Protein backbone atom coordinates (compact mmCIF):
# COMPACT_ATOMS: atom_id res chain seq x y z
CA UNK A 1 0.00 0.00 0.00
CA UNK A 2 2.74 2.40 1.08
CA UNK A 3 4.74 1.36 -1.96
CA UNK A 4 1.81 2.20 -4.27
CA UNK A 5 1.41 5.64 -2.70
CA UNK A 6 5.12 6.32 -3.13
CA UNK A 7 4.97 5.18 -6.74
CA UNK A 8 2.01 7.45 -7.43
CA UNK A 9 3.83 10.42 -5.85
CA UNK A 10 6.89 9.68 -7.94
CA UNK A 11 4.76 9.43 -11.07
CA UNK A 12 3.01 12.75 -10.26
CA UNK A 13 6.38 14.45 -9.71
CA UNK A 14 7.71 12.99 -12.94
CA UNK A 15 4.60 14.16 -14.80
CA UNK A 16 4.95 17.69 -13.40
CA UNK A 17 8.64 17.68 -14.29
CA UNK A 18 7.88 16.51 -17.84
CA UNK A 19 5.20 19.22 -18.21
CA UNK A 20 7.58 21.92 -16.96
CA UNK A 21 10.30 20.69 -19.30
CA UNK A 22 7.78 20.62 -22.15
CA UNK A 23 6.70 24.18 -21.43
CA UNK A 24 10.33 25.27 -21.29
CA UNK A 25 11.14 23.51 -24.56
CA UNK A 26 8.01 24.96 -26.19
CA UNK A 27 8.89 28.48 -25.06
CA UNK A 28 12.46 27.91 -26.21
CA UNK A 29 11.19 26.73 -29.58
CA UNK A 30 8.91 29.77 -29.85
CA UNK A 31 11.80 32.05 -28.98
CA UNK A 32 14.01 30.33 -31.52
CA UNK A 33 11.21 30.56 -34.08
CA UNK A 34 10.80 34.28 -33.41
CA UNK A 35 14.53 34.81 -33.75
CA UNK A 36 14.56 32.77 -36.95
CA UNK A 37 11.65 34.80 -38.34
CA UNK A 38 13.41 38.03 -37.40
CA UNK A 39 16.59 36.87 -39.12
CA UNK A 40 14.60 35.81 -42.18
CA UNK A 41 12.93 39.24 -42.34
CA UNK A 42 16.33 40.88 -41.98
CA UNK A 43 17.73 38.74 -44.80
CA UNK A 44 14.75 39.53 -47.02
CA UNK A 45 15.12 43.24 -46.30
CA UNK A 46 18.85 43.15 -46.89
CA UNK A 47 18.27 41.32 -50.17
CA UNK A 48 16.78 44.37 -51.84
CA UNK A 49 19.46 46.79 -50.66
CA UNK A 50 20.72 48.44 -53.85
CA UNK A 51 17.99 47.07 -56.10
CA UNK A 52 16.57 49.56 -58.59
CA UNK A 53 13.13 50.32 -59.99
CA UNK A 54 11.64 52.92 -62.30
CA UNK A 55 8.86 55.45 -62.02
CA UNK A 56 8.25 56.70 -65.54
CA UNK A 57 11.73 57.27 -66.95
CA UNK A 58 13.44 57.96 -63.64
CA UNK A 59 15.48 55.32 -61.81
CA UNK A 60 15.41 54.95 -58.04
CA UNK A 61 17.10 52.46 -55.75
CA UNK A 62 16.34 50.90 -52.38
CA UNK A 63 19.00 51.49 -49.75
CA UNK A 64 19.57 50.58 -46.10
CA UNK A 65 21.49 52.49 -43.46
CA UNK A 66 22.23 51.88 -39.79
CA UNK A 67 21.24 55.06 -37.95
CA UNK A 68 20.68 55.78 -34.27
CA UNK A 69 20.56 52.07 -33.40
CA UNK A 70 18.04 51.09 -36.10
CA UNK A 71 18.13 50.01 -39.72
CA UNK A 72 16.48 52.64 -41.90
CA UNK A 73 15.21 51.89 -45.39
CA UNK A 74 15.16 54.71 -47.88
CA UNK A 75 14.72 55.25 -51.60
CA UNK A 76 17.04 57.54 -53.54
CA UNK A 77 17.22 58.80 -57.11
CA UNK A 78 17.82 61.81 -59.33
CA UNK A 79 20.65 64.33 -59.24
CA UNK A 80 21.24 67.83 -57.94
CA UNK A 81 20.55 69.48 -54.58
CA UNK A 82 19.00 67.06 -52.07
CA UNK A 83 15.31 67.04 -51.19
CA UNK A 84 14.16 64.75 -48.37
CA UNK A 85 10.51 63.61 -48.31
CA UNK A 86 9.01 62.27 -45.06
CA UNK A 87 5.75 60.30 -45.14
CA UNK A 88 2.79 60.18 -42.77
CA UNK A 89 0.49 57.56 -41.19
CA UNK A 90 -0.74 55.06 -42.35
CA UNK A 91 1.66 55.35 -45.27
CA UNK A 92 5.29 54.73 -46.21
CA UNK A 93 7.80 56.26 -48.64
CA UNK A 94 5.39 55.09 -51.35
CA UNK A 95 3.04 58.04 -50.74
CA UNK A 96 5.50 60.25 -52.70
CA UNK A 97 5.43 58.05 -55.83
CA UNK A 98 3.58 60.62 -57.95
CA UNK A 99 5.96 63.44 -57.03
CA UNK A 100 9.36 61.75 -56.96
CA UNK A 101 10.03 61.49 -60.71
CA UNK A 102 9.43 65.19 -61.35
CA UNK A 103 11.62 66.19 -58.43
CA UNK A 104 14.34 63.80 -59.56
CA UNK A 105 14.80 65.74 -62.81
CA UNK A 106 16.44 68.56 -60.87
CA UNK A 107 17.18 67.22 -57.41
CA UNK A 108 18.56 64.23 -55.56
CA UNK A 109 15.45 62.78 -53.94
CA UNK A 110 15.77 60.89 -50.64
CA UNK A 111 12.62 59.21 -49.31
CA UNK A 112 13.00 57.28 -46.02
CA UNK A 113 10.65 54.94 -44.24
CA UNK A 114 10.28 56.37 -40.75
CA UNK A 115 11.41 54.29 -37.80
CA UNK A 116 9.10 51.32 -37.25
CA UNK A 117 7.29 51.74 -40.56
CA UNK A 118 7.63 50.37 -44.08
CA UNK A 119 10.86 48.42 -44.41
CA UNK A 120 12.70 50.17 -41.59
CA UNK A 121 13.33 48.17 -38.43
CA UNK A 122 10.74 48.18 -35.66
CA UNK A 123 12.15 49.09 -32.24
CA UNK A 124 9.90 49.27 -29.21
CA UNK A 125 10.79 52.87 -28.37
CA UNK A 126 12.01 56.14 -29.86
CA UNK A 127 8.94 57.54 -31.66
CA UNK A 128 9.15 61.10 -30.35
CA UNK A 129 10.23 63.92 -32.66
CA UNK A 130 13.67 64.49 -31.19
CA UNK A 131 14.63 60.82 -31.50
CA UNK A 132 13.33 60.44 -35.05
CA UNK A 133 15.05 63.71 -35.92
CA UNK A 134 18.32 62.11 -34.85
CA UNK A 135 17.51 59.14 -37.12
CA UNK A 136 17.26 61.61 -39.99
CA UNK A 137 20.34 63.52 -38.90
CA UNK A 138 22.51 60.42 -38.99
CA UNK A 139 21.14 59.41 -42.40
CA UNK A 140 21.86 62.85 -43.89
CA UNK A 141 25.32 62.80 -42.31
CA UNK A 142 26.10 59.38 -43.78
CA UNK A 143 24.98 60.57 -47.21
CA UNK A 144 27.33 63.53 -46.89
CA UNK A 145 24.80 66.31 -47.48
CA UNK A 146 25.57 69.70 -45.92
CA UNK A 147 22.30 71.40 -46.93
CA UNK A 148 18.88 69.94 -47.75
CA UNK A 149 15.33 70.94 -48.63
CA UNK A 150 12.90 69.12 -46.36
CA UNK A 151 9.29 68.17 -47.13
CA UNK A 152 7.04 66.33 -44.68
CA UNK A 153 3.45 65.16 -44.43
CA UNK A 154 1.42 64.25 -41.35
CA UNK A 155 3.52 62.62 -38.58
CA UNK A 156 6.63 63.06 -40.72
CA UNK A 157 6.27 66.79 -40.02
CA UNK A 158 7.04 66.17 -36.34
CA UNK A 159 10.39 64.69 -37.31
CA UNK A 160 10.98 67.45 -39.85
CA UNK A 161 10.27 70.33 -37.47
CA UNK A 162 12.46 68.90 -34.71
CA UNK A 163 15.28 68.29 -37.18
CA UNK A 164 15.04 71.81 -38.63
CA UNK A 165 15.08 73.32 -35.13
CA UNK A 166 17.97 71.20 -33.91
CA UNK A 167 19.98 71.43 -37.16
CA UNK A 168 19.06 74.85 -38.58
CA UNK A 169 22.35 75.03 -40.47
CA UNK A 170 21.38 71.99 -42.58
CA UNK A 171 17.74 72.65 -43.56
CA UNK A 172 17.46 75.50 -46.09
CA UNK A 173 13.67 75.46 -46.44
CA UNK A 174 10.88 73.40 -44.88
CA UNK A 175 7.51 72.30 -46.27
CA UNK A 176 4.84 70.97 -43.91
CA UNK A 177 1.70 69.27 -45.21
CA UNK A 178 -1.41 69.02 -43.10
CA UNK A 179 -0.10 68.31 -39.60
CA UNK A 180 -1.10 69.86 -36.31
CA UNK A 181 1.72 69.94 -33.78
CA UNK A 182 1.26 68.73 -30.20
CA UNK A 183 1.45 71.71 -27.89
CA UNK A 184 0.32 74.03 -30.69
CA UNK A 185 -3.05 72.60 -31.69
CA UNK A 186 -5.37 74.98 -33.56
CA UNK A 187 -8.49 75.83 -31.48
CA UNK A 188 -10.70 74.26 -34.16
CA UNK A 189 -9.31 70.81 -33.27
CA UNK A 190 -9.98 71.00 -29.54
CA UNK A 191 -7.66 70.57 -26.60
CA UNK A 192 -6.62 67.00 -27.46
CA UNK A 193 -7.11 66.96 -31.22
CA UNK A 194 -9.43 64.71 -33.28
CA UNK A 195 -10.89 61.55 -31.76
CA UNK A 196 -8.35 59.21 -33.35
CA UNK A 197 -5.50 61.03 -31.57
CA UNK A 198 -6.97 59.81 -28.28
CA UNK A 199 -7.84 56.34 -29.60
CA UNK A 200 -4.37 55.74 -31.02
CA UNK A 201 -2.77 56.75 -27.73
CA UNK A 202 -4.59 54.08 -25.69
CA UNK A 203 -1.99 51.42 -24.76
CA UNK A 204 -2.33 48.10 -26.62
CA UNK A 205 -6.05 48.40 -27.44
CA UNK A 206 -5.91 49.88 -30.98
CA UNK A 207 -3.52 47.26 -32.33
CA UNK A 208 -5.59 44.51 -30.65
CA UNK A 209 -8.75 45.73 -32.36
CA UNK A 210 -7.12 46.38 -35.74
CA UNK A 211 -5.08 43.15 -35.99
CA UNK A 212 -6.23 41.19 -39.02
CA UNK A 213 -8.29 44.16 -40.18
CA UNK A 214 -5.46 46.45 -41.22
CA UNK A 215 -6.82 46.97 -44.72
CA UNK A 216 -10.29 47.87 -43.46
CA UNK A 217 -8.84 50.33 -40.96
CA UNK A 218 -6.50 52.01 -43.43
CA UNK A 219 -9.27 52.19 -46.03
CA UNK A 220 -11.71 53.81 -43.59
CA UNK A 221 -9.00 56.23 -42.48
CA UNK A 222 -8.37 57.23 -46.09
CA UNK A 223 -12.08 57.80 -46.77
CA UNK A 224 -12.82 59.89 -43.71
CA UNK A 225 -9.92 62.26 -44.39
CA UNK A 226 -9.85 62.41 -48.18
CA UNK A 227 -11.63 64.77 -50.57
CA UNK A 228 -10.75 62.31 -53.33
CA UNK A 229 -10.00 59.05 -51.51
CA UNK A 230 -9.92 57.19 -54.82
CA UNK A 231 -6.57 58.89 -55.49
CA UNK A 232 -5.34 56.04 -53.30
CA UNK A 233 -6.28 53.03 -55.41
CA UNK A 234 -6.99 49.44 -54.39
CA UNK A 235 -3.47 48.56 -55.51
CA UNK A 236 -2.06 51.33 -53.33
CA UNK A 237 -4.08 50.06 -50.39
CA UNK A 238 -2.63 46.60 -51.02
CA UNK A 239 0.86 48.02 -50.67
CA UNK A 240 0.10 49.96 -47.47
CA UNK A 241 -1.76 46.99 -46.01
CA UNK A 242 1.16 44.66 -46.65
CA UNK A 243 3.55 46.96 -44.80
CA UNK A 244 1.22 47.67 -41.87
CA UNK A 245 0.27 44.01 -41.50
CA UNK A 246 3.88 43.14 -40.69
CA UNK A 247 4.47 42.20 -37.03
CA UNK A 248 4.71 45.36 -34.93
CA UNK A 249 4.05 47.79 -37.78
CA UNK A 250 0.60 48.99 -36.75
CA UNK A 251 1.74 49.24 -33.13
CA UNK A 252 4.65 51.42 -34.25
CA UNK A 253 2.27 53.66 -36.18
CA UNK A 254 0.25 54.15 -32.99
CA UNK A 255 3.46 54.80 -31.05
CA UNK A 256 3.89 58.05 -32.99
CA UNK A 257 0.58 59.19 -31.48
CA UNK A 258 1.52 57.89 -28.04
CA UNK A 259 4.58 60.12 -28.24
CA UNK A 260 2.41 63.26 -28.64
CA UNK A 261 2.60 64.30 -24.95
CA UNK A 262 6.39 64.07 -25.12
CA UNK A 263 6.38 65.85 -28.49
CA UNK A 264 4.38 68.72 -26.97
CA UNK A 265 7.01 69.25 -24.29
CA UNK A 266 9.82 69.00 -26.84
CA UNK A 267 8.12 71.36 -29.32
CA UNK A 268 7.54 74.03 -26.68
CA UNK A 269 11.12 73.74 -25.45
CA UNK A 270 12.51 74.11 -28.97
CA UNK A 271 10.28 77.09 -29.74
CA UNK A 272 11.06 78.76 -26.40
CA UNK A 273 14.73 78.44 -27.19
CA UNK A 274 14.28 79.95 -30.66
CA UNK A 275 11.44 80.09 -33.14
CA UNK A 276 12.36 78.48 -36.44
CA UNK A 277 14.03 81.06 -38.69
CA UNK A 278 14.09 79.35 -42.10
CA UNK A 279 11.27 79.83 -44.65
CA UNK A 280 8.36 77.45 -44.01
CA UNK A 281 5.62 76.60 -46.51
CA UNK A 282 2.47 75.04 -45.08
CA UNK A 283 0.14 73.19 -47.47
CA UNK A 284 -3.17 72.21 -45.93
CA UNK A 285 -6.40 70.53 -46.94
CA UNK A 286 -9.53 72.45 -47.81
CA UNK A 287 -11.98 69.60 -47.21
CA UNK A 288 -12.42 67.00 -44.44
CA UNK A 289 -15.39 64.61 -44.69
CA UNK A 290 -14.92 63.62 -41.05
CA UNK A 291 -15.38 67.25 -39.97
CA UNK A 292 -18.36 67.87 -42.19
CA UNK A 293 -16.81 69.39 -45.30
CA UNK A 294 -14.90 72.57 -46.17
CA UNK A 295 -12.18 73.83 -43.83
CA UNK A 296 -12.45 77.49 -42.90
CA UNK A 297 -9.29 79.59 -43.01
CA UNK A 298 -5.74 78.24 -42.66
CA UNK A 299 -5.73 76.67 -39.18
CA UNK A 300 -2.51 74.68 -39.66
CA UNK A 301 -0.50 77.62 -41.01
CA UNK A 302 -1.86 79.91 -38.28
CA UNK A 303 -0.71 77.44 -35.62
CA UNK A 304 2.72 77.02 -37.21
CA UNK A 305 3.20 80.81 -37.09
CA UNK A 306 3.59 80.42 -33.33
CA UNK A 307 6.53 78.09 -34.01
CA UNK A 308 8.33 79.76 -36.91
CA UNK A 309 9.11 83.32 -38.00
CA UNK A 310 8.65 83.05 -41.77
CA UNK A 311 5.51 81.05 -42.62
CA UNK A 312 3.49 80.98 -45.83
CA UNK A 313 0.19 79.10 -45.77
CA UNK A 314 -1.56 77.76 -48.87
CA UNK A 315 -4.80 75.82 -49.04
CA UNK A 316 -4.67 72.97 -51.54
CA UNK A 317 -7.83 73.10 -53.68
CA UNK A 318 -9.96 69.97 -54.01
CA UNK A 319 -7.82 68.07 -51.54
CA UNK A 320 -8.30 66.34 -48.26
CA UNK A 321 -5.55 65.21 -45.94
CA UNK A 322 -3.74 63.04 -48.50
CA UNK A 323 -2.26 66.00 -50.35
CA UNK A 324 0.70 64.30 -52.12
CA UNK A 325 -1.64 61.68 -53.54
CA UNK A 326 -4.79 63.74 -54.10
CA UNK A 327 -3.14 66.75 -55.76
CA UNK A 328 0.41 65.83 -56.84
CA UNK A 329 0.54 68.34 -59.71
CA UNK A 330 -0.40 71.20 -57.41
CA UNK A 331 2.26 70.07 -54.91
CA UNK A 332 4.93 69.85 -57.60
CA UNK A 333 4.20 73.40 -58.76
CA UNK A 334 4.30 74.76 -55.23
CA UNK A 335 7.60 73.00 -54.49
CA UNK A 336 9.09 74.33 -57.71
CA UNK A 337 8.09 77.87 -56.78
CA UNK A 338 9.21 77.56 -53.14
CA UNK A 339 12.54 75.90 -53.87
CA UNK A 340 13.22 77.94 -57.00
CA UNK A 341 13.12 74.91 -59.28
CA UNK A 342 12.85 74.57 -63.04
CA UNK A 343 9.69 75.08 -65.08
CA UNK A 344 10.20 71.45 -66.13
CA UNK A 345 9.08 70.55 -62.61
CA UNK A 346 5.90 68.85 -63.81
CA UNK A 347 4.09 65.67 -62.92
CA UNK A 348 4.43 62.92 -65.50
CA UNK A 349 4.06 59.93 -63.21
CA UNK A 350 2.26 56.94 -64.69
CA UNK A 351 3.17 54.34 -62.17
CA UNK A 352 6.00 52.33 -60.72
CA UNK A 353 7.91 49.91 -62.87
CA UNK A 354 10.02 47.48 -60.83
As annotated, the active-site residues are 154, 257, 321
Rounded CA-CA distance 216/74 in Å is: 27
Q: Supply the angle between the helices 214-225 and 234-244 in degrees, to the nearest 10.
A: 130
Rounded CA-CA distance 87/154 in Å is: 7
Instruction: Name residues whose C-beta falls within 8 Å of residue 187's C-beta, 6 or more positions apart in sequence.
Output: 299
Q: Supply the angle between the helices 129-143 and 156-166 in degrees, to the nearest 10.
A: 70
Q: Are 285 and 321 in contact (CB under 8 A)?
A: yes
Rounded CA-CA distance 111/92 in Å is: 9
* Overall residue count recorded for the chain in this entry: 354
Q: Are 276 and 309 in contact (CB under 8 A)?
A: yes
Rounded CA-CA distance 162/308 in Å is: 12
Rounded CA-CA distance 98/349 in Å is: 5
Alpha carbon 235 to its chain's center: 19
Kindly give the pairing relationship between strand 52-55 and strand 276-285.
unpaired
* CB atoms inside a 10 Å sphere around CB 302: 17
With 0-12 CB in 10 A as exposed, 13-18 as middle and 19+ as buried, what is 17? exposed
CA distances from residue 63 to 52, 58, 123 in whole angstroms, order as listed: 9, 16, 19
Rounded CA-CA distance 301/338 in Å is: 16
Amino acid sequence: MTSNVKNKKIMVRMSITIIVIGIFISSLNLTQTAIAQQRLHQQQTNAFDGTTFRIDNMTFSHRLAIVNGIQMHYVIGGKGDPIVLLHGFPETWYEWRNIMPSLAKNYTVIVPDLRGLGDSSKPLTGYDGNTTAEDLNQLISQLGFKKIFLVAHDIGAQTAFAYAEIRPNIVSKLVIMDYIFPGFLPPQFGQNGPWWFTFHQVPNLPEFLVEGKEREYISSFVKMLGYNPYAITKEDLDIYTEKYSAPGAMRDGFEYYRAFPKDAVQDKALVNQSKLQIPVLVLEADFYPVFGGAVQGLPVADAVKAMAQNVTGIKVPNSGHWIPEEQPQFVIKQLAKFFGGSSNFTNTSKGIHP
